Amino acid sequence: MSFRLPFPFRASCPSRPLAAAGLLLGLVAGVASAAPAARAPAAAPAASAPGLVTQTVRLRDIGAYGPIELRGVEHSVYLPLSLRLDESVVSARLKLNHTFSPSLLPELSQLRVLIDSQPLATVVAQKNALGAPQRVEVELDPRYFVDFAKLHLQFIGHYTMDCEFPQHTSLWASVGNDSTLELVTRRLVLRNDLALLPAPFFDPRDGRRLELPFVFARQPSLATVKSAGLLASWFGALAAYRGATFPVLYDTAPQRHAVVLATNDERPAALAGVQLPRVEVPTLMVASLPDDPATKLLLVLGRDAAQLEQAAQALVLGQAALSGERAGVRSVQLPPPRAAYDAPNFVKTGGKVRLGDLVADPSALQVRGQQLQPIRINLRLPADIFTWEAPGMPIDLRFRYTPPREAGQGVLGVSINDRYVQSFRLASAGAGGTGERLTLPFAAPGGAQVTRSLTVPAFQLGSNNQLQFAFELPPGDDGKCRATTGGAQAAIDPDSTLDLSGIEHYAALPNLAFFANGGFPFTKFADLAQTALVLPDAPQRTELQTALVALGQFGAVTGAAATRLTVLPASQVKQAGDRDLLVVAAGAYAPLLEAWGQTLPARLEAGQRAASTLGRLADAGAEWFSGAQPHVVPREGWTELQARGPLAAISGFESPLAAGRSVVLLNATDAAALPAAAEVLLDPGKLRLVRGDLVLVRGESVDAFRVGEIYHVGELRWWRWLWFQLHTHPFLLAALGLLVGLGLSLIAFRVLRGMAARRLAARG
């Protein structure tokens, strides 16, 4: 499992139960039973019992990015826990890997385990175990596992029986983020009710990657595929940071919650036991598998493909009266086409933005405790923002804090994407707060030349950013037995603003980093109104599955469904016209890819592959494919590799159909290798390796190349565009400089000659 958590754990303050914070393996919340650590764990129900499933969750999966460091006399950490709607916890066990400071007083120092405010267990420091890693198992009371809760770890430490400084360096305990929560859960049978949607097909309490099968007839039409793409983008928007995959089943019964798309003519025969009524109006239904009532099917039905699309539109737009087991759709009114860059998840450019508008709750801008965790603000921007020679992103920053006792002790550090920006010294006691103005540079000083190249952006701002404000407010010490024990507080004013009025949109393409991280250029319009999905005329399962994963990622980026997506067979690709193209194909699809042969950065076929560069790919291919030797095809600028083994590729190039339009091709040597291209989009570790215009995926290896020509999209003010072009063409700039110099010289020569002639005439 691989996913990114949108927030860190927060120390010394209760964290709010965000829906997105339910980061357990589909499970849950809670922790320890009220038994002391020394007691032997009670026997758990056998996981092999019918209907029971054992799941193991590491603390790193629920927000503990690193070891949990607990310091001071009293220090708390809160981790979010959640429970799926269709699961209940039968038993649970917390396995804590921890270490106590060797300087602690045994028996008086302890680690308390709570759920929300309910104490459940206490791990007492033992004299013979101080300073050494320990492992303790604590039974958890399943009664405290609720929809949303917080696992609370509280450290209470003492190092002397006399007066002690509450932040003494001897006061610490560490809990490993490899500690685990082992849960035995039972599946619940939910009622068949549309009012529960999107659960159980997507449950916001579940922090795992969404895996939702789509069931079709033996060979669905591309009109049916269009409805599936709309639903995939909607579920992808719901899944957000979790990621989503959509296994495709052709005429096969699913083994888990699934979506079924059927018309009166296209009906999965394998679901004969499920009541799939023939309908006369677009219809949405929830049904159960006959042999497994806990497994639900979302039936999207229509008399024909047009009605099927209406049913899907009604679901994603929320315009159907969704209640009961079945709902008919009378009509659907699509919203107006979306403007460029107005995706719900994008920060609006062209003006000032309040920081308070970038968080779901104002409490996210506040911290308190002995050690203050950074305040983090996510900032998603369009991928094509043009920041060449831009002065930066101004921030009008207002904040409040508990003044430190002594001058020079307090510091506010500002970072973006974990890169240092600026620090402020905080005034000592007597100053209740302050206001400052700072500028975030788009690129580090000295990075201007890389920026000018626009091939691999070196800016601090990307598609997905995070602002971090770290307050350091050490407690004061008034002398022996008079140390301050109260925690500090700090807050960023929600009325603080980012100035995005100077943002322009202009980018050098192809750049697969833009596609992988921000879905660009397709997500420029959140409804995909200017995108065409191109598939083989009769797509295979893996081709359709790969396309749905990509559309789900677009939904996660924009937060909107692809209500205006165009789906075309490869044989009719010319009908795409002035659109950006997402092409998915396994192997060389002759009618299309052969026609684009000279345009493609690479061509893949079973047993051979070719690339439009003579050197860079030859070494990579020979190294991987069993010592195979490349040979040159009699075509200038091409290399062909004869090789065995699967290979997937992501390619980007300018559309052969319309200048300034883009094509992104997801391709593989065979159908079995194609899902590897989609997996790259879901794996944060692989995602950062995607760049250039050609990415080859070979098992766990991801290699990026730049082999094609660059083109530009977007608009700039005329004078900025001219200056940018001159900077990117130094010889043209030099020639223009010579011409300007020559012209000025000629003008000066004529002026001086005229002045000399007038002097001679005056003397004569």
Q: What is the pLDDT of residues 12-50, one digit of tens each?
A: 333 333 333 333 333 333 333 333 333 334 444 555 566
Q: What's the rounded mean pLDDT across residues 165-170?
A: 83
Calculate the alpha carbon distances from 19 to 494, 520, 700, 752 in Å. 22, 27, 32, 78
pLDDT at 300 over 50: yes
E strand or H helix that includes residue 517: helix 512-518
- The whole-angstrom separation of Cα 547 and Cα 600 is 19
What's the pLDDT score for residue 439? 56
E strand or H helix that includes residue 492: strand 488-492
- The whole-angstrom separation of Cα 12 and Cα 369 is 5
Q: What is the pLDDT of residues 176-193, one digit of tens each?
A: 999 998 989 898 999 999
Q: What is the pLDDT of residues 442-490, one digit of tens each?
A: 444 433 222 222 222 334 667 788 888 888 887 665 555 655 555 688 8
Q: Which amino acid is at 496?
A: S
DSSP 3-state percent helix, strand, coil across the chain (nearest 5): 25, 30, 45
Q: What is the pLDDT of residues 352-409, one digit of tens each?
A: 889 899 898 888 898 887 778 889 988 888 888 876 665 667 888 888 888 877 665 7
**Where does residue 753 rank: exposed (0-12), middle (13-18), buried (19+ CB within 10 A)?**
exposed
Q: What is the pLDDT of residues 563-579, one digit of tens each?
A: 999 999 988 998 998 99
Every domain of the chain and the residues it spans:
10-187, 194-328, 352-502, 507-714, 729-763
What's the pLDDT score for residue 531? 96
CB hemisphere CA count around 443 (13 angstroms):
18
CB hemisphere CA count around 644 (13 angstroms):
2
What one-character-per-residue DSSP string does 235-285 give? HHHHHGGG-EE--EEES---SSSEEEEEESS---GGGTTS-----SS-EEE
What's the pLDDT score for residue 438? 56
**Which residues in 410-425 are b (16+ Cβ under 10 Å) and which e?**
bebebbbeeeebeebe
DSSP state of 117: T
What one-character-per-residue DSSP string does 387-429 give? -TT---EEEEEEEEEPPPSSTT-EEEEEEETTEEEEEEEEP-T
Beta bridge partners of 77: 11, 153
Q: What's the rounded mean pLDDT across residues 513-528?
A: 93
- The whole-angstrom separation of Cα 9 and Cα 376 is 11
What one-character-per-residue DSSP string does 674-725 give? THHHHHHTT-HHHHTT--SSEEEEETTEEEEE--S--EEEEE--HHHHHHHH
Tokens for 552? 């789900």
Give the closest residue to 560 by CA, choosing from 238, 310, 332, 261. Answer: 238
What's the pLDDT score for residue 303? 94
- The whole-angstrom separation of Cα 239 and Cα 220 is 25
What's the pLDDT score for residue 189? 92
Residue 45 CA to chain centroid, in angstroms?
37
Calculate the alpha carbon distances from 477 to 165, 404, 432, 474 in Å. 7, 11, 20, 10
Give the closest residue to 509 by CA, choosing from 678, 659, 328. Answer: 659
What one-character-per-residue DSSP string does 71-94 give? ESSEEEEEEEEE--TTEEEEEEEE
Q: What's the rounded mean pLDDT across residues 282-311?
A: 94
Tokens for 185? 């859960």
- The whole-angstrom separation of Cα 15 and Cα 12 is 9
What's the pLDDT score for residue 551? 97
The domain 352-502 is classified under which CATH number: 2.60.120.260, 3.30.930.10, 3.30.70.3000, 1.10.150.120? 2.60.120.260
- Cis omega before residue 539 (within 30°)? no
Average pLDDT over the chain, rounded to an integer? 79
In CATH, the number for domain 10-187 is 2.60.120.260
507-714 carries CATH number 3.10.310: no
The share of the chain scoring above pLDDT 90, in percent, equals 32
Q: What is the pLDDT of residues 393-430, one digit of tens each?
A: 788 888 888 887 766 578 888 888 887 778 888 876 55
Residue 136 CA to chain centroid, in angstroms?
35
E strand or H helix that includes residue 543: helix 541-558
E strand or H helix that includes residue 214: strand 214-216
pLDDT at 297 over 90: yes
- Are the C-beta atoms of residues 76 and 153 closer than 8 Å to each other? yes
Highest CATH level, class, for 194-328: alpha beta
Q: Do domains 10-187 and 352-502 have the same CATH topology?
A: yes
> Three-state SS for 174?
strand
The residue among 151 and 165 whose pLDDT is bigger is 151
pLDDT at 593 over 80: no
pTM of the model: 0.80
Tokens for 412? 């506010």
- The whole-angstrom separation of Cα 95 and Cα 103 is 24
Handedness of CA 137, 142, 143, 144 (dihedral sign): positive
Beta bridge partners of 172: 71
